[in-house]
Amino acid sequence: MAHAGHDHSRWGAADQLGAANFLTAAKRVAALQSVRRGEMFDLSHEIAMGAPYLAPNQTPYLLSMSTNCRDSLRRRRDLGYVNDAGANLERIEMTTHVGTHIDALGHISMGERLYNGRNGAEIVTDRGLESLGVEHIPPIITRALLLDLATADGGAHLGPGRVITPDDLARAVDATGTAIEPGDVVLIRTGWSRYFATDVKRYLDGEPGIDVAGAHWLTRQGVVAIGCDNMAVEVMPNPDPKRILPVHQHALVEAGVYLVENLVLEALAAAGARHFCFLLLATKFRGATGSPVRPVAVL
């Protein structure tokens, strides 16, 4: 795994998968064979107008009908069709970081440097990323651990600016009754998702999450992805007021570990799930820096 000061990843100079290299056939088989009841938990929010977005880099999600059954019926009748096949179609304007989504490795840079020593000036174009785009993320089918920290401070959820430390993570892993293994996904519940659609301003003004030390603790153990029920996985604002998105920089640029944001983990936690089969498939938008996803846990 590449770390600060190293240009290339452990998987070679051409690698675009990052920690997805840990997703072996054996990991997939083991995850699928762990399913006992077939009970499924949808870990995603609905995407709707009014969904939280971080200005100015992100823009609102907008959906409008580009054609409707009334207009298309009229046009098709005029063309001589007799079976009244009306069509409803929409146009959507959005960033790929709306709602529950995964960050591609090309999403964040350290200066001009992107994952595996790639240069932003060379691969970032007006038409998207020439490499490290979301189309390179393979289907993620593996074991996931739920680290439930929502009540760690005695309330229903952690507060904004609350740093989840390596010690917090270690205790939460112990509570799952297993240990993190290479190829696992780690999902962190802070309880913050309750504000996603109910109080957007509060959801965006700050959030609990991991800082760089916690990110290093997780990436050292070979996780494929880190997910959280907040906007950015990491604590906001950062304890160091001069730093922004340092966890993104470490995870995506240095470690090649994906970030999954705006998860819904309440029902999964209420069911007492601690490790389980996890499935996430990103839509292959060529050159995109992320993709909305619908991750599921199957018990």
- Evaluate if residue 172 carries a pLDDT over 90: yes
Q: Would you state the pLDDT for residue 244?
A: 96
Of the pLDDT bands very low, low, confident and very high (cuts 50, 70, 90), residue 8 is confident
Q: Would you state the pLDDT for residue 5?
A: 41
Residue whose entry in the numeric block shows the structure tokens 């160091």: 240
pLDDT tens-digit map of 139-150: 999 999 999 999
- Complete domains list, the chain, with CATH: 18-52+96-298 (3.50.30.50), 62-93 (no CATH)
Of the pLDDT bands very low, low, confident and very high (cuts 50, 70, 90), residue 3 is very low
Of the pLDDT bands very low, low, confident and very high (cuts 50, 70, 90), residue 2 is very low
CA distances in angstroms from 61 to 45, 52, 96, 172, listed in the order given: 14, 9, 10, 35
Q: Would you state the pLDDT for residue 79?
A: 96
Q: Which of 3, 289, 247 is nearest to 131 (CA)?
A: 289
- Evaluate if residue 163 carries a pLDDT over 90: yes
- Evaluate if residue 206 carries a pLDDT over 60: yes
Q: Would you state the pLDDT for residue 4?
A: 40
Q: Would you state the pLDDT for residue 36?
A: 97
Determine contact, residues 38/298, Cβ cutoff 8 Å.
yes
Q: Would you state the pLDDT for residue 271?
A: 98
* The model's pTM: 0.95
For 198, residues 6+ apart whose C-beta sits below 8 A from its C-beta are: none
- Evaluate if residue 153 carries a pLDDT over 60: yes
Percent of the chain scoring above 70 in pLDDT: 98
pLDDT tens-digit map of 97-150: 999 999 999 999 999 999 999 999 999 999 999 999 999 999 999 999 999 999
